[in-house]
Amino acid sequence: MANSSRTFADIRSVVLSAHSNKCDEGFYNNWAENYDQLQKKGFQYFVGLDSSAKMLEVAKRKGLYQELKQCLLGPTALPIKAGTCDVVIAVGALSCTHLPVTIVRELWQVAKPGGYVCVTTRGNESNKEYKNHLERILSEMEMEGLWNRISVMEVERWEKAVCDAESEYIPGAVYLYRKSEK
């Protein structure tokens, strides 16, 4: 990572760009074409993980990632060596319909001491219980001394709603933590 003082702003802009459209397979396939924005911010070594073969195919064509791995997180252990990543980002993956909240400890584990972990989740009614559980886990990890919270940003218009029972946009949150140096 070239300049750690700009990490949150850089990551936040990329993360927020992910939530302008409906998050279905078509969304991720379209987003794959623009996913290389992080490299322009000074990050140089990328490991891409996704369950979508299309996302990995597009990433390979762009030549941005040094490693690409297809895996389904949750049932499968995170296929990255512990303590090797400057920044770990999970966008659009932490929700009641995607990954278990326990994956956060795996994301923490692969971050280097002093590295960052940035995760997002939805704040809509159907995800409230999951969000509360996630926030408990994040706080417990902070109390255990595993990391320090850098920022939590609640976003009112996070992404377009996909359910008729919800208004046009649903809320969401971006959490940024820095792994302890110990």
Helix (H), strand (E), coil (C) string for 130-180: HHHHHHHHHHHHHHCCCEEEEEEEEEEEEEECCCCCCCCEEEEEEEEEEEC
pLDDT digits (tens, 9 = 90+) for 144-174: 999 999 999 998 888 777 666 667 888 899 9
Band of residue 7 on the pLDDT scale cut at 50, 70, 90: low
What is the model's pLDDT at position 47?
87
What is the span of the domain harbouring residue 160?
4-179
Q: What is the pLDDT of residue 157?
A: 81
Q: Please say if the pLDDT value at position 140 is more than 80.
A: yes
For every residue of 85-125, DSSP letters joined together read: EEEEEEEEEESTTS--TTHHHHHHHHEEEEEEEEEEEE-SG
As a whole number, the mean pLDDT across the chain is: 80
Number of domains in the chain: 1
* For residues 109-119, average pLDDT: 94
Location of structure tokens 């927020």: 16
- What is the token pair recorded at 147? 């990391």
How crowded is residue 48: how many other Cβ atoms within 10 Å of its Cβ? 19
Give the pLDDT mean for 1-6: 43
Which of the given ranges, 31-40, 88-97, 156-165, has the highest pLDDT on average?
88-97
* Residue 27 clears pLDDT 80, i.e. is over it: no
CATH number at 137 reads 3.40.50.150
